Chain A
Amino acid sequence: MNQYDVHRGENPRIIFFFWIVILASITLVLGLAWRQLIANQKYEAIEKRQTERRILKPGPRGDIYDRKGNLLVGNRPHYSAVVYLDDLRREFRSEYSKIIRAERERIRKAYDLRPKNERAGVAPPAPNYNELQWVARKNVIEIYIDKINVITGREDTITTRAIIRHFNEQLLLPLVLVEDLTADQYARLIEQVPVQSPIKIHTDTARYYPYGAAAAHTLGYVQKVNPDPSEIIDDGLKTFTFKTKQGKTGIERSFDEHLSGTTGHEIWRVDPLGFQDALLYQEAPKQGENFISSIDIDLQIAAETALGNRTGTAIALDVKTGEVLAIASHPGYDLNDLSPYIPRKVFDKINEQGAWMNRSLQLSYPPGSTFKLLSAIAGLRKGTINTKTQHNCQGVFPLGNRIFSCHARNGHGLVDLATAIEGSCNIFFYAEGLRIGIDELSAEAQRFGLNERTGIEVPYETGRLVVPTKDWKREIIGEGWMLGDTANTAIGQGFLLVTPLQMANLIASIARGETRTQPTLRALSAEEAKRVDHGGEPIGLTPRQHVELWEGMERVVSNSGTGRLVQIDGLRIAGKTGTADFRAHGKEVNLAWFLGLAPVEDPQIAIAVMVEGTSSSDSYHGGSTAGPVAKDIFLEFIEHYPERAGLAFKY
Chain B
Amino acid sequence: MANVRLDKIKPLVALAAFLFAWWAIPTTVKSYLKAGFTEFQSPAWVATSYLDDLEGFWARRSHSKVELIEAGREVARAKSHYQFRAQRTQSLEQEISRLETILHLPSRREFRYEVARVVRRDLNYWWQHIIIRKGKDYNIPKGAAVVFAGGVVGRVIEVNAFTSRVELVTSPNFRMAANFEGDGRPVIYQGVAQSGFGNPIGSVRDAPKDSHASTLTPLKLVSTHLGGTFPAGLVIGQVSWLEPGITGIFQAGSVELDSRLLSLHEVAVLIPLHPINLPSDDL
Which residues of A are interface residues toward B (Cβ below 8 A)? 57, 59-60, 75, 77, 144, 147, 150-151, 183-184, 186-188, 190-197, 199, 201, 203-205, 261, 264, 282, 284-287
Q: Given A147-B280, A261-B248, does the pair A183, B175 have CB atoms closer than 8 Å?
A: no
Query: A195–B169 Cα gap in the complex (Å)?
Result: 13
Query: A193–B177 Cα gap in the complex (Å)?
Result: 11
Query: A285–B250 Cα gap in the complex (Å)?
Result: 11
Contact A188–B228 (Cβ < 8 Å): yes
Q: Which single residue of chain B is at the shortest CB-CB distance from A75? A: B249
Q: Given A147-B283, A186-B186, does the pair A192, B248 have CB atoms closer than 8 Å?
A: no
Q: What are 27 residue pairs bridging A and B, where the CB atoms are less than 8 Å apart in the complex?
A: A57-B248, A60-B247, A60-B248, A60-B249, A77-B208, A183-B186, A183-B226, A186-B177, A186-B226, A187-B226, A187-B228, A188-B226, A190-B176, A190-B227, A192-B227, A192-B228, A193-B279, A193-B283, A194-B279, A197-B283, A201-B188, A203-B206, A203-B250, A264-B246, A264-B248, A282-B246, A284-B248
Query: A287–B250 Cα gap in the complex (Å)?
Result: 10
| B250 contacts across to A, CB distance below 8 A | 77, 203
A-B contact count (CB 8 A): 90
Contact B283–A194 (Cβ < 8 Å): yes
Query: A192–B280 Cα gap in the complex (Å)?
Result: 9
Q: List the 5 closest pairs (A to B, CB-CB), nearest first.
A: A187-B177, A187-B226, A191-B227, A187-B227, A285-B248
| B278 contacts across to A, CB distance below 8 A | 192
Contact B248–A184 (Cβ < 8 Å): no
B151 within 8 A of A: no
| A246 CB, nearest partner CB in chain B, Å | 17
Q: Which single residue of chain B is at the shortest CB-CB distance from A61? A: B249
| A204 contacts across to B, CB distance below 8 A | 247
| B244 contacts across to A, CB distance below 8 A | 284
Contact B176–A150 (Cβ < 8 Å): no
Contact A192–B277 (Cβ < 8 Å): yes
| Interface residues of B, count at CB 8 A | 30
| A197 contacts across to B, CB distance below 8 A | 283
Contact B279–A196 (Cβ < 8 Å): no
Contact A195–B186 (Cβ < 8 Å): no
Query: A205–B186 Cα gap in the complex (Å)?
Result: 14
A contact face: mostly helix, strand, loop, or mixed = mixed
Contact B277–A190 (Cβ < 8 Å): no
Q: Which single residue of chain B is at the shortest CB-CB distance from A153? A: B277
| A184 contacts across to B, CB distance below 8 A | 226-228
Query: A197–B282 Cα gap in the complex (Å)?
Result: 8
Contact B248–A196 (Cβ < 8 Å): no
| A191 contacts across to B, CB distance below 8 A | 175-177, 227-230
| B170 contacts across to A, CB distance below 8 A | none
| B225 CB, nearest partner CB in chain A, Å | 8
Q: Which single residue of chain A is at the shortest CB-CB distance from B248? A: A285
Residue interface mask B231-246, A partner, CB < 8 A = 1: 0000000000000101
| A147 contacts across to B, CB distance below 8 A | 279-280, 283
| CB under 8 Å from chain A, chain B span 142-193 | 143, 172-177, 185-186, 188, 190
Q: Given A77-B206, A190-B175, A190-B177, does the pair A203, B247 have CB atoms closer than 8 Å?
A: yes
| CB under 8 Å from chain A, chain B span 242-282 | 244, 246-250, 277-280
Query: A285–B283 Cα gap in the complex (Å)?
Result: 31
Query: A199–B172 Cα gap in the complex (Å)?
Result: 16
| B143 contacts across to A, CB distance below 8 A | 192
B128 within 8 A of A: no
Contact B172–A195 (Cβ < 8 Å): yes
Q: Given A188-B228, A197-B283, does the pair A285, B176 have CB atoms closer than 8 Å?
A: no
Query: A192–B275 Cα gap in the complex (Å)?
Result: 13
Query: A201–B206 Cα gap in the complex (Å)?
Result: 11
Contact B249–A205 (Cβ < 8 Å): yes
Contact A187–B283 (Cβ < 8 Å): no
Contact of A195 among B190, B230, B248 (CB under 8 A): B190
B42 within 8 A of A: no
| A225 CB, nearest partner CB in chain B, Å | 18
Given contacts A188-B228, A192-B283, A285-B248, 8 further A-B contacts (CB under 8 A): A57-B248, A151-B277, A186-B186, A192-B277, A192-B278, A264-B246, A284-B248, A286-B248
Q: Which single residue of chain B is at the shortest CB-CB distance from A144? A: B283
Contact A287–B248 (Cβ < 8 Å): yes
| B206 contacts across to A, CB distance below 8 A | 77, 203
| B173 contacts across to A, CB distance below 8 A | 194-196
Query: A111–B237 Cα gap in the complex (Å)?
Result: 67
Query: A284–B172 Cα gap in the complex (Å)?
Result: 24
Query: A203–B188 Cα gap in the complex (Å)?
Result: 11
| A398 CB, nearest partner CB in chain B, Å | 67
| A195 contacts across to B, CB distance below 8 A | 172-175, 190
| A190 contacts across to B, CB distance below 8 A | 175-177, 186, 188, 227
Q: Which single residue of chain B is at the shortest CB-CB distance from A150? A: B277
